[in-house]
């Protein structure tokens, strides 16, 4: 098990359908299941807004997020109230946060927020070199690349690797600034830093291989400024190489999910002797647009990753529950909504836990128990 920070408890009030919600979570896998409209997405919106400092819509909001580390001692409570947030504040995409200590009575310290991925229903329009030719500007002597597209949402490992790690390691010698040299460095760097992503894609999707396209070009813009152009990945399926646009929608979604969830290797960063960052993952309905066989592989990927990081996913598909064993039923969180209470989350009662475990022993599929029982009271 990794030592990554994870969310252990939340208490939210005053946002859309969420009037007074309390819930605890475990390290690793957590599955929030409920009907459409039960407030699952509103819950993720709150965490995303808190973690990115985008407080629009928080006029009446109050909330606490308790974060822990698997091995470190005290819990840390992050509190959002009208007194310590600016409703006009928006995310700073260039901000990178280092973990420090915080006293319990201080305002929110954003350095305590764990690295995380928030993954919605659809693939964003811009996903960087995963599916579109990306261009970067580099000034001699700087330690990072600047994306020409401005604000962008690259998959975690690609963003970190190509904007921070690559220039700090390779882009130092002006005499090396030739297109073929930089391309080979980029190619070798992706093979090294993207190994985890590539291996996961090969194991859990129809992809046979991934490589950096040779469409790359280097352009000198001024005496000390260069552009790295047309950086994009290609994908091998059934023996042939394809662009992102040629992939099926289901394959695109699986590749995108893997890229957002896979750990970030920072061992190559100068001065870092160790370090794999396993982001906390907020994943909405992984089953959407995915073939049943592919979903089985995707769920296996999530199970494997949950050994090293916290994954909180929402679903309305009972099939997703089949990834759990009898000893993991405490990882189910049922989302319900009523006119009186709004959105509520709850774990299984003792009777539900016992009956579900007994049903799995006799029949095997937890999804059937969900469909044919009173597992969810509001059904």
Read off the pLDDT of residues 331-359 as tens digits, 9 standing for 90 and up: 999 999 999 999 999 999 999 899 899 88
E strands present in 51-120: 62-69, 76-80, 116-119
- Tell me the C-alpha distance between 332 and 103, whole Å: 32
Task: Work out the angle at residue 266's Cα, subtended by the Cα atoms of residues 263 and 271, and round it to the nearest 5 degrees.
Answer: 165
CA within 13 Å, CB half, 37 = 4
Q: Which of 212, 224, 95 is nearest to 162 (CA)?
A: 212
Give the tokens for residue 86.
């600016």
CB-based contact 251:123 (threshold 8 Å): no
Q: Are 117 and 280 in contact (CB under 8 A)?
A: yes
Instruction: pLDDT tens for the chain, 379 residues: list them.
Output: 456 778 999 999 999 999 999 999 999 999 999 988 999 999 999 998 888 888 888 888 999 999 887 666 567 788 888 666 777 665 444 343 333 333 334 445 555 667 788 898 888 877 878 888 888 899 988 877 887 765 444 455 666 677 777 887 788 777 778 999 999 999 988 887 788 889 999 999 999 999 999 999 999 999 889 999 999 999 999 999 999 999 999 999 999 999 989 877 666 655 555 567 778 899 999 999 898 889 999 999 999 999 989 999 999 899 999 999 999 999 999 999 999 999 999 999 999 899 899 888 887 788 888 887 766 554 4
What is the dihedral angle through the alpha carbons of 125, 128, 131, 134, rounded to the nearest 10 degrees?
120
Reduce the DSSP state of residue 163 to 3 states and report it: helix
Q: What is the pTM of this model?
A: 0.86
């Amino acid at each position: 098990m990794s030592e990554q920070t994870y969310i252990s408890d939340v208490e939210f009030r005053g946002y859309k359908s969420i009037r007074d919600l309390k819930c605890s979570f475990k390290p690793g896998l957590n599955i929030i299941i409920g009907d459409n409209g039960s407030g699952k997405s509103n819950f993720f919106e709150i965490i995303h807004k808190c973690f990115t400092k985008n407080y629009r819509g928080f006029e009446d909001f109050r909330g606490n997020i308790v974060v822990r580390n698997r091995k470190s001692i005290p819990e840390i409570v992050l509190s959002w109230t009208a007194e310590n947030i600016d409703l006009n504040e928006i995310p700073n995409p260039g901000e990178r946060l280092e973990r420090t200590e915080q006293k319990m009575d201080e305002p929110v310290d954003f350095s305590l927020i764990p690295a995380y991925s928030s993954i919605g229903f659809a693939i964003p329009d811009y996903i960087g070199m995963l599916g579109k030719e990306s261009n970067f500007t580099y000034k001699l002597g700087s330690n990072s690349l600047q994306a020409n597209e401005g604000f962008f949402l690259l998959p975690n490992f690609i963003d970190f690797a190509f904007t921070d790690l690559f220039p700090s390691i390779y882009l130092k010698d002006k005499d090396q600034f030739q297109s073929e040299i930089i391309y080979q460095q980029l190619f070798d760097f992706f093979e090294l830093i993207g190994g985890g992503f590539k291996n996961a894609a090969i194991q859990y999707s129809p992809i046979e291989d991934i490589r950096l396209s040779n469409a790359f070009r280097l352009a000198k813009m001024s005496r000390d400024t260069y552009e790295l152009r047309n950086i994009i990945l290609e994908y091998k399926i059934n023996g042939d190489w394809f662009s992102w646009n040629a992939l099926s929608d289901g394959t695109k979604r699986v590749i995108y999910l893997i890229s957002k969830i896979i750990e970030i290797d920072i061992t190559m960063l100068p001065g870092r002797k160790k370090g794999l960052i396993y982001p906390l993952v907020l994943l909405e309905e992984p089953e959407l647009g995915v073939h049943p066989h592919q979903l089985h592989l995707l769920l296996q990927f999530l199970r494997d990753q949950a050994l090293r990081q916290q994954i909180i996913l929402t679903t309305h598909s009972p099939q997703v529950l089949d990834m759990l064993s009898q000893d993991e039923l405490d990882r189910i969180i049922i989302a319900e909504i009523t006119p009186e209470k709004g959105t509520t989350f709850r774990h299984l009662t003792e009777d539900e836990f016992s009956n579900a475990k007994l049903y799995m022993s006799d029949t095997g599929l937890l999804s059937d128990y969900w469909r044919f029982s009173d597992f969810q009271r509001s059904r």
